[in-house]
A and B are shown apart, each in its own frame.
Chain A
Amino acid sequence: MSTDSIEGQADRLLLPSYARDDSSHPALDTPEYRSTSLRHPSEPLQRLPQNLTEVTGPVLGHERVSETDHDLTIQHEGEPLGERIVVSGRVLDSDGKPVPDTLVEAWQANAAGRYRHAGDRHPAPLDPNFSGVGRCMTDEHGRYRFVTIKPGAYPWRNHDNAWRPAHIHFSLFGRAFTQRLITQMYFPGDPLFHQDPIFNSVRDPKARERMICEFDLDSTIPEWALSYHFDIVLRGSRATPFENEEDDDDD
């Protein structure tokens, strides 16, 4: 393709625009979580326009996902120890539209609160039948589903007698670089919430609730597994050909 024809199209480029959602997210500088102190940028972030690189993103397909990847209880000879659970929900955007065919990655501690990672020094047993890694693709309605065991809480060294509430880590791509999200899913009513600086780094209590799954009796599998529902919402795109950016508050 010649440069001319690209140039000819350039002034007609119509790109989606992803809504800002800064108020959902924690501040990078959150002193209660000590590891942020030397790792948060001290200069203000610069505004990046949402051009072609930002409104596109990796189309990571089914070749990254195998048959058993969504079921963390069948990846070994035997079954892992712990409370078997189903975690399912939808990946949506903030326009309420499902995000189909997108890769969802998950990782977690075992039932005793131990990760299969060389750096995890928690003196709790490893489970030879549990790796703690899952991945799946959302279907055409944005739905995903994992079968796993409920992760245990674990101690860490952030402050005196610090414990992480039970959680499952999630990684999402959506369809654009702009939508990339890493989060953690928590369980309802965890008594450790009040002392966890990572959970509480999200200052808005309503926003914190959006990281807590719902117990879902209807989708339990009788005599086999309890079930939790967790919808994940990424930034939405409004195609706005005729209006300029509404929010001018760059700082």
Chain B
Amino acid sequence: MTTEHGGPATTPSQTVGPFFALPGGLPWPDGPEVVGPDTEDAFLLRGRLLDGAGEPVPDGLVEMWQADEHGRFAHPDDPRGSSTSARGFGRCATGSDGEFWFRTVRPGALPTPEGEWEAPHIDVTVLARGLLDRVVTRIYFPDEEEANAADPVLSTVDQQRRGTLIAGVEDGAFRFDIRLQGTGETVFFAV
């Protein structure tokens, strides 16, 4: 089976199922700690994963990927060159109340190929039993009003729903709940 451009067709996605968190499995002990506790300007980001009935999803896995505080990636495909050793990646299995957390730093703004600037943001993948494919969303920061207003992705999102992509602040941490369906449904992206 090949695609119209001659290469092989992709392998289909399947659900991560209920048992990915078996001992030694996908959740890593240091998974939520994108940066160490002593990192300057590190903060906690907490949230809950909720289903269409508003019930917690206790068997989900939330992953995040972001630039470092200067907007840099430790990656060969960043044409500006790789000038960071930041891991930039976190994963956290949800708890019995659907809760997840990360310790990270605020990423820098990012230039786009169109010459615009994306506001500081974190890309998120949500996996769970009952999700046959991952769903993707983005976390933006509440105190970046100017940058958020100019962000080429946020500005394409219906104003009524834009707020689902912007973290809140609670107890000295950022808060980002993910609602898979229904009232207040988080905006999800096809990437």
Contact = CB atoms under 8 A, between A and B. Distances in A.
A125 interface: no
B159 interface: no
Bin chain A's interface residue count.
35 or more
Interface stretch (B38-46, B72-80, B141-149): B72-80
Given A9-B80, A13-B111, A180 B190 contact: no
Interface string B118-138: 100101010111111111101
Given A46-B190, A107-B26, A39 B51 contact: yes
A177 B191 contact: yes
A15 B25 CA distance: 33
B1 A133 contact: no
Contacts of B87: 58
Contacts of B187: 43, 46
A6 B189 contact: no
Nearest to A201: B132
Contact of A94 (B3, B12, B118): B3
Interface in A22-52: 22, 24-28, 30, 33, 35-43, 45-52
A6 B71 contact: yes
B23 A116 contact: yes
B174 interface: no
B32 interface: no
Contacts of B88: 58
A238 B6 CA distance: 12
* 7 tightest Cβ-Cβ pairs between the two chains A and B: A35-B130, A10-B111, A58-B89, A48-B189, A39-B130, A56-B75, A38-B52
Given A48-B138, A55-B77, A183-B13, 5 more contacts: A15-B113, A39-B129, A53-B123, A96-B7, A107-B25
Interface of A: 1, 6-7, 9-16, 19-22, 24-28, 30, 33, 35-43, 45-60, 64, 92-96, 105, 107, 109, 115-117, 119-120, 131-133, 169, 171, 175-178, 180-184, 198-199, 201-202, 206-211, 231-236, 238
Interface of B: 1, 3, 5-26, 28, 51-53, 55, 57, 59, 63, 65-67, 70-71, 73-80, 83, 87-89, 110-113, 115, 117-118, 121, 123, 125, 127-136, 138, 152-153, 156-157, 161, 180-182, 185-191
